[in-house]
């Protein structure tokens, strides 16, 4: 077995995903705590004197208590290297979440014990299904009132088609949480919360006699329900899990650190290690092939003192060595990797080598964009990462003409990161670009970052368009004369986009002018909500 293959076997690269407010950032912090990567867990709102969470490093994230950008955390646990990618906590930033899912081998899906399968949860399940990403389900907030556990299992199966196979089962109804029955290990554990929930919860194994004496009816009910699960065959099957046919289920409470250690163990024992990836032609690139990597995230100004730009690269094959000169597949040009780092939230450390599954931060990567491939040796290019068709549009102008250079530099920076899509209008010129977003909160992020990172306050004038399609030069001449439509060019590739107030106006124009070229943005075809 080659070094790359053996090192890949001990990697676990996964994302934490869910509907907003289900506790993603809190879970990320709790996992890092239990792996001893941090000594005290932060709180999303920093309550009771606790610091903020490691993964929510942006000022705007900490002020609002939601994740706005994805964050990578790297740590060791039980002899395995974990690459944990936290994802944005709001549907307006779904595009960032989809990029992350192109870089992971497994997903931990959090469900709110009271709310169950929510709309954003369902969308993410569908993306995982499309990408054949195995899903581990963690029912969070069991220390608060919620649904019956058997009802939640029925909902998971009915809504997703995945067969739930509980690894742990709660002792006590939601809101009266004592501990869990560990079905795979055949034991019961009681949890005791530590002050403030900032350190690891205490775990005590219970004998049948202790459980019956101390927990009474809740103990009896938990074991009766586990007998029922056994009777209906709700047992873990590794092949079914990896084929995205079943999902292991755990119960806990991330804020209290209940059940988090068991989730780490399940990730080690059940989550798949990195596997060979197909390139854009469908040819599988072996793990021990020369280095190749996929850029899935670009982020600038993580460190205000340096104002640099980091490209997050998922290693797909081979051994990465700091200083190696790679080829940028999109341009064919060499790319030097002198400044390579591992990232833990906003903290960084120089990384000298990495293997398949690892996430490497390449500093000052001004030429790289999400979806780019880097390689050594024989050329390879991985499939592009889908982007979303924008549904919200606004004209951006600098509030001060004296800040026009900072304004343009900031707009170009955010476009390169994929924070927003930047479109050019012949009607308005370069000083008034049209910003296109999946959700309106993206505009708030642009305003905040331009003001704080570039000193350029902006004015946004919302446009009435809700639909964008690809067109060509000939059709553009016709469309420019239509009411309720406009032709814009995309900054990153000069593609012509026709935007419309709504589908009814688009169809009306099509009826009046047959033969117009109006096509979906195609790179992400087949993925819910995605285009290219």
Of 449, 18, 36, give the one whose Cα is nearest residue 27: 18
Please, are residues 284 and 278 in contact by the beta-carbon 8 Å criterion?
Answer: yes
Residue 35 to residues 67, 70, 198, 199, 461: CA-CA distances in angstroms? 22, 20, 14, 12, 47
Of 96, 25, 31, give the one whose Cα is nearest residue 65: 25
Sheet holding 340-344, edge to edge: 333-336, 325-328, 373-375, 292-300, 309-317, 359-363, 340-344, 347-350
User: In sequence order, what DSSP letters do the residues of 338-353 get, joined into one string?
Assistant: SSEEEEETTEEEE--E
DSSP E strands, 19-159? 71-77, 80-86, 106-112, 135-140
Q: Which residues contact 17 (CB under 8 A, 6 or more apart)?
A: 24, 87, 97, 100, 101, 107, 108, 109, 110, 124, 128
Provide the pairing of β-strand 325-328 with 373-375: antiparallel
Residue-wise burial string across 190-218, b where 16 or more C-beta atoms lie within 10 A, e elsewhere: bbebeeebbebbebeebeeeebeeebeeb
CATH fold group of domain 387-531 = Alpha-Beta Plaits (3.30.70)
Whether residue 466 is annotated as binding a ligand: the answer is no
Ranges of CATH 3.40.50.300 domains, the chain: 16-67+88-269
**CATH number 3.40.50.300 given to 16-67+88-269:** yes
pTM: 0.81
Whether residue 89 is annotated as binding a ligand: the answer is yes
Whether residue 86 is annotated as binding a ligand: the answer is yes
pLDDT of residue 93: 57
N- to C-terminal Cα distance for the chain? Answer: 39
Phi and psi torsions of 208, nearest 5°: -55, -35
In the chain, how many H helices and how many E strands? Answer: 13, 32
Whether residue 440 is annotated as binding a ligand: the answer is no
pLDDT of residue 91: 58
Whether residue 164 is annotated as binding a ligand: the answer is no
Tell me which DSSP letter residue 439 carries: S
Residue with the two structure tokens 């944990």: 84
* Distance of alpha carbon 513 from alpha carbon 115, whole angstroms: 48
* Distance of alpha carbon 251 from alpha carbon 141, whole angstroms: 8
* Distance of alpha carbon 317 from alpha carbon 343, whole angstroms: 20
pLDDT of residue 144: 96
pLDDT mean values, one per 10 residues, the chain (532 residues): 93 90 85 72 41 45 44 86 76 69 93 91 81 95 97 96 97 97 96 82 94 96 97 96 96 95 97 96 96 90 67 96 96 93 75 95 88 95 83 94 92 85 87 89 88 92 94 95 94 90 95 92 45 44
Residue with the two structure tokens 């949480």: 177
Residue with the two structure tokens 């709180």: 43
CATH fold group of domain 277-375 = Elongation Factor Tu (Ef-tu); domain 3 (2.40.30)
Ranges of CATH 3.30.70.3280 domains, the chain: 387-531
Contacts of 118-122 with CB under 8 Å at 24 or more apart are 118/19, 118/22, 119/19, 119/91, 120/18, 120/19, 120/20, 120/91, 120/94, 121/18, 121/19, 121/22, 122/159, 122/160
Ranges of CATH 2.40.30.10 domains, the chain: 277-375
Residue with the two structure tokens 């899903």: 135
Give the 3-state secondary structure of residue 379: coil
Determine the length of the chain: 532
When computed from its CA atoms, the radius of gyration of the chain, rounded to whole angstroms, is 24
């Amino acid at each position: 077995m080659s070094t790359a293959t053996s090192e890949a076997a001990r990697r676990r690269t996964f994302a934490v995903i869910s509907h907003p407010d289900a506790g993603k950032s809190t879970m990320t912090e709790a996992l890092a705590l239990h792996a001893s990567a941090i000594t005290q867990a932060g709180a999303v709102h920093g309550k009771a004197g606790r610091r903020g969470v490691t993964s929510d490093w942006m000022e705007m994230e900490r002020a609002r208590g939601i994740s706005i950008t994805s964050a990578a955390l790297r740590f060791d646990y039980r002899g395995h290297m974990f690459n944990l990618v936290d994802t944005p906590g709001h549907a307006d930033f779904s595009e960032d979440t989809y990029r992350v899912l192109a870089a992971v081998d497994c997903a931990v899906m959090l469900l709110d014990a009271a709310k169950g399968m929510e709309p954003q949860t369902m969308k993410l399940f569908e993306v995982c299904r499309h990408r054949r990403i195995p899903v581990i389900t963690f029912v969070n907030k069991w220390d608060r009132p919620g649904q019956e556990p058997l009802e939640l299992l029925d909902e998971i199966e009915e809504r997703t088609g995945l067969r739930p196979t509980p690894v742990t089962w709660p002792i006590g109804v939601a809101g009266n949480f004592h501990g869990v029955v560990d079905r795979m290990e055949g034991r019961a554990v009681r949890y005791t919360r530590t002050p403030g929930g900032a350190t690891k919860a205490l775990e005590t194994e219970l004998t049948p006699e202790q459980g019956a004496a101390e927990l009474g009816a809740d103990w009896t009910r938990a074991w009766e329900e586990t007998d029922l699960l056994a009777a209906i065959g709700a047992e873990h099957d590794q092949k079914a899990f990896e084929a995205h046919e079943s999902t292991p289920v755990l119960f806990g409470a991330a804020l209290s650190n209940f059940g988090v250690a068991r989730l780490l163990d399940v990730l080690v024992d059940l989550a798949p290690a990195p596997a060979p990836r197909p390139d854009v032609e469908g040819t599988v690139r072996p793990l021990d092939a020369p280095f190749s990597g996929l850029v899935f995230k670009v982020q600038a100004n993580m460190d205000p003192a340096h104002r640099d730009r980091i490209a997050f690269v998922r290693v797909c094959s081979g051994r990465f060595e700091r200083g190696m000169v790679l080829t940028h597949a999109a341009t064919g040009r060499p790319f030097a990797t002198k400044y390579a780092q591992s990232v833990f939230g906003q903290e960084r450390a120089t990384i000298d080598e990495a293997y398949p599954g690892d996430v490497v931060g390449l500093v000052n990567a001004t030429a790289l964009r999400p979806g780019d491939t880097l390689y050594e040796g024989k050329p390879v290019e991985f499939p592009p990462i889908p982007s979303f068709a924008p549904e919200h549009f606004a004209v951006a102008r600098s509030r001060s003409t004296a800040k026009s250079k900072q304004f343009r530099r900031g707009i170009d920076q955010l476009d390169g990161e994929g924070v927003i899509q930047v479109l050019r209008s012949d009607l308005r010129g370069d000083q008034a670009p049209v910003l296109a977003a999946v959700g309106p909160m993206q505009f708030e992020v642009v305003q905040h970052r331009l003001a704080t990172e570039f000193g350029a306050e902006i004015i946004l004038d919302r446009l009435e368009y809700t639909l964008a399609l690809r067109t060509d030069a000939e059709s553009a001449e016709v469309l420019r004369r239509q009411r309720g439509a406009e032709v814009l060019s995309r900054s990153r590739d000069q593609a012509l986009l026709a935007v419309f107030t709504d589908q009814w106006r688009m169809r009306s124009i099509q009826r009046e002018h047959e033969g117009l070229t109006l096509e979906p943005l195609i790179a992400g075809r087949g993925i819910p909500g995605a285009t290219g």
